[in-house]
């Protein structure tokens, strides 16, 4: 009953997310136990891997701070990617192409700016951001246009684009920009990189992820857009009832185009934060898994911009902490993706949980109603 009340109250979405996390931890624990591992040790090592709890010992030049900064370095593009999904989702669109948009934006920025040794950091970094916005925005707008002009389902069109982008960029990398040793693209210049590397804090070699600042800024912007602006109101209206939006006089086509454009633009930012931030090279013909994890984050955060920051932290803990957990506990690191997948599964049951809770409360009210009547009658 306690749970039912929480799930129908003002913070219902928050409770759904918490419940999903708890259920996932339970499922993961069962899985670990069947493999003969101690879940508590495993969870602790996830946190240690992220610099939230100290490890037993650290190698030279690294410490809890470096782990934490590495964690934040991963977190930044993930937050941006999930914001991209949310922006489209509010309009009722599923932007599954975030991975492709990230790759294209990252590739374009790397080729145009990252390989341009002549640009100083002050010029290069903003340009990288701009390219991210532009390339991602155009790709997103293209998908939006395909949707409203030809009624092409965006899930299929975005996946097709993902593969096209993957092969196209892979081709160009292999042909023109490949590093013979790593088989990946040549690294981008440190000046263009959004994450500052080898920054000495004390005797620790740290990374400073500037992308995190961008991520939080965008989160605040998106939140403001949807809570306080006319455009945000119209996007939500289109997402919830397209027919009524048309009837009200909202230009539905323009709204779809804009929201997919914004979504793509933010995905582009995620892309440059990933390929010229978190890492500095591109693996050919590989789409970033983060593009799909962003969907998990968005759903876990109940589609709310600020909520997705916390959801992203949860998912990042699993993804970033996996390596360390794998080496201490001896479980394959793929378990991180599995846990994220299970988390996504439980998060998507949120509506059902709310519905069951509402039913329970209604039945209790009905019962009290009839009891009251019988009491009156007798």
Both tokens of 136, joined, read 């991602």
Query: Shortest approach of other proteins to residue 157 CB, angstroms?
Result: 6
Whether the CB-CB separation of 7 and 20 falls below 8 Å is answered with no
Query: Shortest approach of other proteins to residue 230 CB, angstroms?
Result: 5
Query: Shortest approach of other proteins to residue 101 CB, angstroms?
Result: 16
Angstrom distance (rounded) from CA 58 to CA 114: 32
Pick between residue 1 and residue 365 the one whose CB is nearest to other proteins. Answer: 365
**Torsion angle defined by CA atoms of residues 305, 310, 315 and 321, in that order, rounded to the nearest 10 degrees:** 140
Angstrom distance (rounded) from CA 4 to CA 11: 12
Pick between residue 55 and residue 285 the one whose CB is nearest to other proteins. Answer: 285
Residue identified by tokens 């439980």 is: 346
Pick between residue 122 and residue 230 the one whose CB is nearest to other proteins. Answer: 230
Tell me the longest C-alpha to C-alpha distance in the chain. Answer: 92
* Number of CB atoms found within 10 A of residue 29's CB: 16
Angstrom distance (rounded) from CA 287 to CA 15: 33
Axis-axis angle for helices 230-240, 211-228 (nearest 10): 80
Q: For residue 185, which phi and psi values (nearest 5 degrees)? A: -70, 155
Query: Shortest approach of other proteins to residue 150 CB, angstroms?
Result: 5
Query: Shortest approach of other proteins to residue 233 CB, angstroms?
Result: 6
Query: Shortest approach of other proteins to residue 171 CB, angstroms?
Result: 4
Both tokens of 333, joined, read 């690191």
| Among 72, 75, 92, 215, residue whose Cα is nearest residue 155 | 92
Query: Shortest approach of other proteins to residue 191 CB, angstroms?
Result: 30
Angstrom distance (rounded) from CA 129 to CA 272: 7
Pick between residue 76 and residue 290 the one whose CB is nearest to other proteins. Answer: 290
Query: Shortest approach of other proteins to residue 328 CB, angstroms?
Result: 16
Query: Shortest approach of other proteins to residue 246 CB, angstroms?
Result: 6
Pick between residue 76 and residue 225 the one whose CB is nearest to other proteins. Answer: 225
Pick between residue 124 and residue 297 the one whose CB is nearest to other proteins. Answer: 297
Pick between residue 66 and residue 158 the one whose CB is nearest to other proteins. Answer: 158
Pick between residue 33 and residue 363 the one whose CB is nearest to other proteins. Answer: 363
Pick between residue 168 and residue 313 the one whose CB is nearest to other proteins. Answer: 168
Catalogue the long-range contacts made by 335-343 (C-beta closer than 8 Å, 24 or more residues apart): 335/28, 335/31, 337/289, 338/31, 339/24, 339/28, 340/293, 340/296, 340/315, 341/296, 342/24, 342/27, 342/28, 343/20, 343/21, 343/24, 343/296, 343/300, 343/314, 343/315, 343/318
Pick between residue 192 and residue 326 the one whose CB is nearest to other proteins. Answer: 326
| Among 364, 85, 26, residue whose Cα is nearest residue 239 | 85
Query: Shortest approach of other proteins to residue 24 CB, angstroms?
Result: 12
Residue 278, C-beta contacts closer than 8 angstroms, at least 6 positions apart: 73, 74, 76, 77, 195, 209, 211
DSSP 53: S
The contact set with other proteins (CB under 8 A) reads: 35, 94, 96, 146, 150-153, 155-157, 159-164, 167-168, 170-171, 174-175, 228-231, 233, 236-237, 240-241, 243-251, 285, 292, 295-296, 299, 332, 334-335, 337-338, 340-342, 344-345, 348-349, 351-352, 355, 359, 362-363, 365-366
Angstrom distance (rounded) from CA 64 to CA 69: 9
């Amino acid at each position: 009953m306690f749970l039912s009340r929480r799930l129908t109250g003002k913070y219902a979405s928050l409770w759904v997310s918490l419940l999903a996390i708890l259920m996932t931890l339970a499922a993961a624990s069962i899985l670990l136990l069947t493999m003969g591992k101690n879940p508590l040790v495993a969870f602790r090592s996830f946190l240690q891997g992220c610099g939230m709890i100290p490890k037993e010992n650290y190698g030279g030049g690294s410490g809890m701070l470096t782990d934490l900064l590495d964690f934040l370095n991963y977190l930044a593009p993930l937050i941006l990617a999930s914001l991209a999904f949310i922006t489209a989702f509010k309009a009722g669109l599923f932007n599954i192409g975030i991975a492709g948009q990230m790759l294209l934006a990252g590739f374009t920025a790397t080729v145009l700016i990252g390989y341009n040794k002549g640009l100083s950091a002050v010029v290069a970094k903003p340009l990288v951001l701009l390219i991210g916005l532009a390339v991602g925005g155009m790709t997103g707008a293209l998908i939006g246009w395909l949707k409203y002009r030809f009624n092409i389902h965006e899930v299929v069109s975005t996946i097709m684009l993902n593969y096209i982008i993957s092969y196209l960029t892979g081709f160009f990398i292999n042909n023109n920009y490949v590093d013979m040793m790593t088989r990946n693209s040549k690294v981008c210049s440190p000046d263009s990189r959004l994450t500052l590397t080898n920054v000495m804090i004390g005797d620790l070699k740290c990374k400073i992820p500037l992308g995190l600042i961008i991520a939080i800024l965008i989160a605040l912007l998106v939140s403001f857009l949807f809570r306080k602006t006319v455009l945000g109101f119209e996007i939500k209206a289109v997402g919830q009832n397209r027919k009524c939006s048309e009837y009200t006089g909202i230009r539905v086509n323009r709204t779809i185009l804009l929201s997919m454009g914004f979504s793509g633009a933010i995905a582009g930012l995620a892309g440059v934060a990933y390929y010229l931030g978190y890492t500095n090279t591109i693996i050919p013909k590989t789409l970033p898994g983060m593009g799909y994890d962003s969907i998990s984050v968005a759903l876990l955060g109940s589609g709310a911009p600020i909520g997705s920051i916390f959801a992203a932290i949860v998912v990042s803990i699993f993804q970033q902490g996996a390596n360390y957990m794998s080496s201490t506990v001896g479980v394959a690191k793929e378990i991180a993706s599995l846990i994220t997948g299970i988390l996504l599964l439980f998060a998507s049951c949120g509506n059902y949980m709310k519905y069951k809770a509402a039913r329970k409360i209604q039945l209790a009210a009905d019962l009290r109603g009839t009891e009251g009547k019988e009491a009156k009658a007798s």
